[in-house]
Structure 1
Amino acid sequence: MTSKRSGVFLSLALFASCHAGNNEDAPPPHVVVILADDLGYNDLGFTGCADFDTPALDALAAQGVVFTDGHVSAAVCAPSRAGLITGAHQQRMGFESNLIYTESGTGLARGARTLASRLQDAGYATAGVGKWHLGSEEGQHPLDVGFDRFTGLLKGARSYFPQLEKKQGKLTRIERNLEVVPEAELGYLTDFFSAEAVRLIESRDQNKPFFLYLSYTAPHTPMHAREDLLEHFSESIPDTKRRKYAAMVTAMDEGVAAVTEALQRNGMLENTLLVFLSDNGGATNNSSDNGIWRGMKGSKWEGGHRVPFIAHWPKGFPSGIQYDLPVTSMDITPTALAAAGVQDKEGLDGVDLRPFLHGQAGRPHQRLYWRRNVAAAVRDGDWKVIRIQEKDGTFREPLLFDLASDPSEENNLAGQNPEKAAALLDLLAAWEENMQPSGWVQGDRWLNNQRAKHKMSVIGRDAERAVP
């Protein structure tokens, strides 16, 4: 079985599948993409979190589609966002590391086509809120790549609380359509982003379909949380860092509730294709929990790139189903474009997931690929190989896993099945021939960290201390 339906939602799912948004005369859906930052796989109610609740996201999951085998195209922030927003392997433009702001030419390639620019061309009003992290040079700003309006920061992280004006850098200040937002107006950053998203929904051009990209910084470090939420968890979560993490995720869940309520209040929710996911797996430095998935952010283990992933579209998707075959963040762009009636698929590596959610046989992806400098991996069906390059340019013995029988990647089968390992390495090499080499590399610290964390002897968080 590729999907499972709960009895509670069976009738709703059948109704939705009969009204699947395939009517060419139906208005195009609004599109909302909500992205968490460094969220652990197990840190939502519907994925198994036991020490705090996420009711808003759980409700969306219960009424939508839960992708249990959902992945991002990279295990660190910036390249993952590039794959999501373009719908293509970020390696096609040499983008496989986080940005180096002291060097020019890092970030989105000039002229890159994004989900925002494609929807803008199709007549959508477009808005972005939150963390950008895709470049700050000319031609890379959100307003240059398809967003009509943008409120957020260009860099990858900053304080969640107002900071001294003298500490405001160009990349960490909050701007609204190129104008600096005074720090005194921000309050708690997650709440500010949520309120800004609601404001943009309320003030949208009502004559156009609407696209919103809401990219939270939560629960990425620094570990800053609201006092009321810390007090709420003071007895139930004794660990200080985990308590802060729970409070940060809770604030984000409250924001998701505010956004969905705004969509409902404005008569938009029924015809909004809403997707929620994390940019990568949980990180070692924020007390996140990736459950059974080995590894963390920055690794090619499942815990680095398998993420919580849900889609909700009452008029277009079945309700209350679980989809168990592999999908990727690169599928968001082609799925949204197809739902919007955009025929242009040029340059896309993702696929339209709508047919698969309505019963089409087969797998959306037979193969998935990942690469970041010295660490690369390919998955073919349920087989996965990880390839690590040493300092001298040679490659280690590969790591081979059968995810069907060994989802936690505990048993390296390369010695028992060298032919399978070699075949997957050949697939990886063939894929690389169509990709660009990395346009920039962060440095030896990060390369050595990747080498250290991809060893069978490394368990849990060992060798994960230098977190990208």
Structure 2
Amino acid sequence: MKGIKTISTLLLALWTGISAAQVKTAAKPNVIVIVSDDAGYVDFGCYGGKQIPTPNIDAIAKQGTRFTDAYVSASVCAPSRAGILTGRYQQRFGFEHNTSNVLAPGYKITDVGMDPSEQTIGNEMQANGYKTIAIGKWHQGDEPKHFPLNRGFNEFYGFTGGHRDFFAYKGKRTNEHALYNNKEIVPENEITYLTDMFTDKATSFITANKDKPFFMYLSYNAVHTPMNAKKDLMERYASIADTGRRAYAAMMTSLDDGIGKVMATLKANQLDKNTLIIFINDNGGATVNSSDNGPLRGMKGSKWEGGIRVAMMMKWPGHIAANKTDSRPVSSLDILPTAIGAGKGKQKGTKKLDGVNLLPYLSAGNKKTPHEALYWRRGVAAAMREGNWKLIRVKESPTVQNVLLFDLSKDLSETKNLSEKYPAKVKELLVKLAEWEKGLDQPHWYSSYGDQNQIMKHRMETTGREMERMYP
């Protein structure tokens, strides 16, 4: 009986002109999560950028929904990615800081990375019938137990560290900078330009797997340092006097071109209407890559809006309304449950997720708020947002703490500290922040920069890129 139904479905497909690929994947959409690295909030055209054209990224927003108040769970790369990959606040499993060799008591250097007991988005999608691939930057630990092929991905094409040159290394390079094709290391003399290579891998994977549902984690390292840009694109932006900004623009164009090729490949294989695409930037623009956060105060590494509020958009024709803007606070933690929900799947892991499936909230008429509050902590600095209230708490010593309060609806740039004006609100939010912290683990390792940088970075007088650069 099952065989007769299958034959009937295929005959219907032939009669109606629908491809076999569309028939086979109709029940389960493909899901692609695209991550950019260290980009500025207003460096995308759809977020107000004028200097650098990003037509392909803008097309995701035009064909879907763009979030104005989207946040990542950390303002630096590795813990932010741990949140994206697990759908849980990464502090729950001790991943509070960027990876380092400054170990907490009781932990070994081999423990630095995502806890193997955590289920990744790869694990979850595999359990729901998807073939999975991770492409690009990993930054979740260098031990075999942390390797993507052991963390829910059928294929891996990328590097395990937090950065590497976009061009080939001419001299000696470390293992964390090596480019892996699954378990094999790609020789440096075969490396052309990393952004293009990640794009090529993504497009070839799509074509090879067009007849079965797939999940792709496409984690570009553009536009993270080093500022390696292609010569022809540097020449295209010759009018930009600042060479750092010129390189940034060229690297952004390579990123946007790559995303355009991914979209074109989906369309060529008749998969564009049955693919959920989620685009997100991993944290605020960095102090060292000439990015622009526009009206947002602060940059990568801080709890200011410029450190944690990011570009995020989603498209899925027929399921997510086109050309919409959504101002409700959402989180990178929502990506995992949204990906599961798109295929009407079930969570494999038993640990409670902090993210939510956003698809029901994007349906017509649903005005509910996905999150009552969002939280952040990295070392001595913590923050939360509830409604339009934003609180930052910095513990300067066991007896002294600096508390800042802002009304984001009136002060997006966080220029007026309202903590003295609204002491009751401060007390209320501090209690909620402390309650959230009860569910966290202690960090398994610490920042190599120490606590003083976080203290200085969150002083009201610390303003502008140059001052923030003093406290990485």
Cα distance in 2 for residues equivalent to 1:388 and 1:167: 41
> 1:51 deviation in Å?
1.1
Cα distance in 2 for residues equivalent to 1:387 and 1:395: 11
Cα distance in 2 for residues equivalent to 1:167 and 1:388: 41
**Superposition pairs of residues 60-75 of structure 1, within 5 angstroms:** 60-75=60-75
> 1:315 deviation in Å?
3.0
Q: Residue type of the partner of 1:405?
A: K
Cα distance in 2 for residues equivalent to 1:467 and 1:133: 22
Whether the 8 Å CA contact 2:163–2:221 is kept in 1: the answer is: yes
Is 1:393 equivalent to 2:398 in the alignment? yes
Aligned-partner SS, 1:69: strand
Is 1:374 equivalent to 2:377 in the alignment? no
Is 1:233 equivalent to 2:231 in the alignment? no
Among 434, 449, 453, the alignment partner of 2:439 is 434
| Equivalent in the alignment of 2:3 | none
Q: Residue type of the partner of 1:56?
A: N
Whether the 8 Å CA contact 1:328–1:350 is kept in 2: the answer is: yes
| Equivalent in the alignment of 2:18 | none
CA RMSD of aligned residues (A): 1.4
Whether the 8 Å CA contact 2:26–2:274 is kept in 1: the answer is: no
More deviation in 290-299 or 186-195? Answer: 186-195
| Equivalent in the alignment of 2:206 | 201
TM-superposition CA deviations, 1:277-336 (whole Å, max 9, x none): 110000000000001110000000000000010101113211110011100000011011
Is 1:133 equivalent to 2:136 in the alignment? no
Whether the 8 Å CA contact 1:285–1:467 is kept in 2: the answer is: no
| Equivalent in the alignment of 2:246 | 243
| Equivalent in the alignment of 1:318 | 321
Q: Residue type of the partner of 2:194?
A: L
| Equivalent in the alignment of 2:185 | 180
Aligned-partner SS, 1:130: strand
| Equivalent in the alignment of 1:13 | none
Q: Residue type of the partner of 2:199?
A: S
TM-superposition CA deviations, 1:36-82 (whole Å, max 9, x none): 00010000111111112011111111111100101101000000000
Among 402, 405, 408, the alignment partner of 2:410 is 405
Whether the 8 Å CA contact 1:387–1:395 is kept in 2: the answer is: no
Cα distance in 2 for residues equivalent to 1:78 and 1:270: 32
Structure 1 length-normalised TM: 0.91
Whether the 8 Å CA contact 2:456–2:471 is kept in 1: the answer is: no
**Superposition pairs of residues 98-117 of structure 1, within 5 angstroms:** 98-100=98-100, 103-117=109-123
Aligned-partner SS, 2:468: coil
Aligned-partner SS, 1:79: helix
Cα distance in 1 for residues equivalent to 2:196 and 2:464: 32
| Equivalent in the alignment of 2:11 | none
Whether the 8 Å CA contact 2:39–2:285 is kept in 1: the answer is: yes
Aligned-partner SS, 2:339: helix
TM-superposition CA deviations, 1:401-443 (whole Å, max 9, x none): 0111111111000011111111111100000001111111023
> 1:111 deviation in Å?
2.4
Is 1:210 equivalent to 2:222 in the alignment? no
| Equivalent in the alignment of 1:300 | 303
Q: Residue type of the partner of 1:365?
A: H
Whether the 8 Å CA contact 2:135–2:157 is kept in 1: the answer is: yes
Gaps of 5+ in 2: 1-24, 103-108
| Equivalent in the alignment of 1:29 | 29
Cα distance in 2 for residues equivalent to 1:252 and 1:308: 14
Whether the 8 Å CA contact 2:462–2:468 is kept in 1: the answer is: no
Among 256, 266, 272, the alignment partner of 2:275 is 272
Structure 2 length-normalised TM: 0.91
Cα distance in 2 for residues equivalent to 1:51 and 1:139: 43
Cα distance in 1 for residues equivalent to 2:450 and 2:56: 36
Whether the 8 Å CA contact 1:297–1:467 is kept in 2: the answer is: no
Among 420, 431, 451, the alignment partner of 1:447 is 451
Whether the 8 Å CA contact 1:130–1:217 is kept in 2: the answer is: yes
TM-superposition CA deviations, 1:428-466 (whole Å, max 9, x none): 0000001111111023x3422111110111111243225
Q: Residue type of the partner of 1:461?
A: R
Cα distance in 2 for residues equivalent to 1:261 and 1:129: 18
Cα distance in 1 for residues equivalent to 2:261 and 2:319: 22
Q: Residue type of the partner of 2:407?
A: D
Cα distance in 1 for residues equivalent to 2:137 and 2:315: 23
Cα distance in 1 for residues equivalent to 2:228 and 2:57: 21
Cα distance in 1 for residues equivalent to 2:371 and 2:444: 27
How many correspondences in the alignment?
A: 439
Q: Residue type of the partner of 1:448?
A: Q
